[in-house]
Amino acid sequence: MTGCSSGKETATPQQQAPASGKVTLFYLQKQGDQQYFVEQAQGAQEKAKELGVELKVVNLGQDANKAITELDAALAQGANGIAIVVPDQAIGPQVLDKAKSAGIPIIASDDVIKDGGGTKSPFVGFNGSQMGDSVGKEAAKLFKAAGWTAADTKIISAYKQDLTVCSDRVSAAKAAFDKTLSDQKSGAQVPVIEVGTDNTPVDAQNRTGAVIGSNPGVKHWVVWGCNDENETGAVTALANSGVPAADIIGVGLGAYLTCKDWAAGKDTGNKSALFISGAEVGRTAIGLLVDKVKNSKELPPETIAKTQIVTKDNYKQAGVNCI
């Protein structure tokens, strides 16, 4: 992972003296039962054990009110530092104000949060635009190789539409897709169908099912989304409606669900995926917090994790955890 500064002052909490005794950290996660966040928690626990600190992981589900309640509880229990993946970015100012008032360092994980003045909290995770760019380029490469045309092809872009990281990803995917095909002088402008979801595979599958029925003339489908849950859910809906795997180009974002068809040896529309490691994000967040608490080292404004396109041929070597 590489750290990079935006050049802007970040909303850091009050200075805290280095902790010489027991250190207790909290990782508050939205959707803690999702595979990505399960692996994130595991990576965080591994790093906490390595560094000799206690880590308490809390699953917030998708409940913004619970996030505030659990944050209050963590502060009341004497937390020395907190990493948080908020269920709703709108609570960012409240979260940061509480941490600042308590003098506790806090780092946003995965989803950016800002204070009331619009200043970002220290962040560890992925660059949404870069991720989307990689997905879009991969989809365009596969589209071109398949010899498809825009006339009988449509793109399904599935994502939670009120989440900025999701909007950043899918917008960048479309821009990269169009630019790549334009650079190749294909002249293709493939229509995009935006499917609003709650970022779960079941919802993506159900909502995509309705889209398929209203587009009977489409022969080929390109699929991407905010995460693996969206992409695999949409691809499953297409398969269930009778679309052959050869007529689907699905590019996942995560690889932890996309890989399941590959591991099972299935003929699938899940053609490739951008591999992101939740475990690495978790390890890094804890390492940064411990450095802040024990050594008074300032939290970097932004720490971005590396990503990699994988397929059925190389996902194992890349380290994808396909359970």
Task: Provide the greatest CA pair distance for the chain.
Answer: 67
Distance from C-alpha of 18 to C-alpha of 250, rounded to nearest angstrom = 48
Q: Which residues pair with 61 in a beta bridge?
A: 30
pLDDT digit string (tens) for 237-264?
A: 999 999 999 999 999 999 999 999 999 9
- Residue pLDDT, tens place only, 56-83: 999 999 999 999 999 999 999 999 999 9
DSSP letters of 285-296? HHHHHHHHHHH-
**How many Å apart are CA 180 and CA 178, to the nearest integer?**
6
**pLDDT digits 0-9 by tens, 114-169:** 999 999 999 999 999 999 999 999 999 999 999 999 999 999 999 999 988 899 99
Residue 187's pLDDT is 57
**β-strand pairing of 192-196 with 123-125:** unpaired
Rounded percentage of the chain residues whose pLDDT exceeds 70: 92
Check residue 25 and give its pLDDT: 98
Say yes or no to pLDDT of 16 above 60: no
pLDDT at 8: 36
Mean of pLDDT values over 269-282: 96
- Please give the pLDDT value at position 21: 79
Q: What one-character-per-residue DSSP string does 53-122 give?
A: -EEEEEEEET-HHHHHHHHHHHHHTT-SEEEE--S-GGGHHHHHHHHHHHT--EEEESS--B-TTSPBPP
Contacts of 257 (CB under 8 A, 6+ apart): 35, 201, 228, 229, 231, 232
63 compared with 34, residue with greater pLDDT: 63
DSSP letters spanning 221-283 = EEEEESSHHHHHHHHHHHHHTT--GGGEEEEEEESTTTHHHHHTT---SEEEEEE--HHHHHH
Report pLDDT for 321.
Answer: 86
Give pLDDT, residue 115: 95
pLDDT bucket at 19, cuts 50 / 70 / 90: low
Tokens for 44, please give them. 């965080």
Query: Using CA of residue 45, residue 56, residue 307, residue 300, what is the dihedral sign?
Result: negative
Token readout for 150 is: 């825009």
d(CA 133, CA 77): 42
Sign of CA dihedral 270, 276, 279, 285: negative
- The C-alpha atoms of residue 77 and residue 55 are separated, in whole angstroms, by 12
Look at residue 42 in the predicted model and tell me its pLDDT.
Answer: 96
Both tokens of 3, joined, read 């750290």
Q: pLDDT tens digits for 173-224?
A: 999 999 998 855 555 589 999 999 999 999 999 999 999 999 988 999 999 9
Catalogue the E-assigned strands of 132-219: 153-159, 192-196
pLDDT at 163: 87
Q: How far is CA 259 from CA 39, 222, 252, 300, in A?
A: 15, 18, 9, 33
Task: With both helix axes pointing from N to C terminus, report the angle between 128-146 and 164-183 in degrees, rounded to the nearest 10.
Answer: 40
The answer, yes or no, to whether residue 15 has pLDDT greater than 60, is no
